[in-house]
Amino acid sequence: MSILFVSATDDPGPWLRELNRLLPEHPVRVWPERGDDAAIRYAVAWKPPPGLLASLPRLEVILSLGAGVDAMLADPTLPDLPLVRMVEPGLVLGMTEWVAAQVLYWHRNQHAYSAQQARGVWQPLDEFLAQERRVGILGLGELGAAAARALAALGFDVAGWSRSPREIPGIACHSGPDGLAALLARSDILVCLLPLTAETRGILDAELFAALPPGAVVINAARGAHLVEGDLLAALAGGRLRGASLDVFTEEPLPAGHPFWRHPAVVVTPHVAAKTHARTAAASIAEQIRRHERGLPLENVVDSRRGY
């Protein structure tokens, strides 16, 4: 019973090492090498070519290398099998660090000080305490809840928004369409950590920006398609927003010449907010395969009707 590892962007070396160590009884094939298709029971995949998974006759479980499964679900030939998304401690730590770094960057005026330094200007700006800065998090799942807790531990006034009601000590939790307006009205810094679904596509648009306090900052580490790029550029040009930090884009890599590259109020990182590292994540894949083989329910299974 073999495992097919499929990713055009992840180095298979560390995955082979870790999966062979944790699951020595399961040979691992690295796509495009497949061996005997009929021996493949598990696919460990990031953005597999459309149709590939459907061509494996005895596949039993699909394990996503990423937390977000929007690309996988967009394949109309995706087999109707359990799809397990990535939940693992390294991803949570990475995202928490990236979000905290971006929030602190804007909170402590680092953007303005870097611009001043470039011009040789010594000019202290108004500084606020963390408790005076209201941060809103869209999405209170594995990543959003961890980021919310870390920001609250730094002293920020943190609220969050989810689909169903949540209770997280120290975080003001809002939910559902009715909860969004309340969250936005109190978010000086807004962080998007939503999955990309039919309901959340394009959520970061002109209407949402208009509901934020004037001069707010938008941070997107979820998916590029959450953001209406033209609306962001207009909100920055009009002064409605102070700045944005973006890790994800409609087109990745961000095309040369895209206005975000040189925009003075936009921070760009190349989809690195949280990376899935084999040294922490292979254990979570091995655990689900073992559960499947013991007849135990799989964890973190995607609900394809919800889209996440």
Compute the least distance from the CB of residue 63 to ligand NDP, in Å.
15
271 belongs to the binding site for ligand NDP (CB under 6 A): yes
Q: Can 290 be counted among the known catalytic residues? A: no
Question: Bridge partners of 40?
Answer: 2
CB-closest chain residue to ligand NDP: 141
**79 within 8 A of 45, measured Cβ to Cβ:** no
**186 within 8 A of 134, measured Cβ to Cβ:** yes
Give all strands (DSSP E) within the chain, no chain letters. Answer: 2-7, 28-30, 40-46, 61-64, 83-84, 134-138, 157-162, 172-175, 189-192, 216-220, 241-246, 266-268
Q: What angle do CA 148, 154, 156 make, to 5 degrees?
A: 65
What does 163 interact with, of ligand OXD, ligand NDP, none (CB < 5 to 8 A by kind)?
ligand NDP
247 belongs to the binding site for ligand NDP (CB under 6 A): yes
Question: Bridge partners of 56?
Answer: none
- d(CA 52, CA 244) in angstroms, rounded, equals 37
In the numeric block, the tokens 């939790």 are attached to: 173
102 belongs to the binding site for ligand NDP (CB under 6 A): no
Which of the following is catalytic: 149, 263, 271, 291?
Answer: 271
Which of the following is catalytic: 29, 163, 174, 223?
Answer: 223
What does 197 interact with, of ligand OXD, ligand NDP, none (CB < 5 to 8 A by kind)?
ligand NDP
C-alpha dist (Å) from residue 101 to 82, 89, 191: 35, 18, 12
Q: DSSP letter at 67?
A: S
Q: Can 271 be counted among the known catalytic residues? A: yes
151 belongs to the binding site for ligand NDP (CB under 6 A): no
Specify the residue, 91 or 267, whose C-beta has the smaller distance to ligand NDP.
91
Binding mask 206-235 for ligand NDP (x = CB under 6 A): ---------------xxx------------
248 belongs to the binding site for ligand NDP (CB under 6 A): yes
20 belongs to the binding site for ligand NDP (CB under 6 A): no
Residues that bind ligand OXD (CB under 6 A): 66-68, 86, 276
Specify the residue, 68 or 139, whose C-beta has the smaller distance to ligand OXD.
68
- d(CA 280, CA 274) in angstroms, rounded, equals 12
Q: Record the tokens describing residue 294, joined without a space.
A: 């013991």
Please identify every residue annotated as catalytic.
223, 271
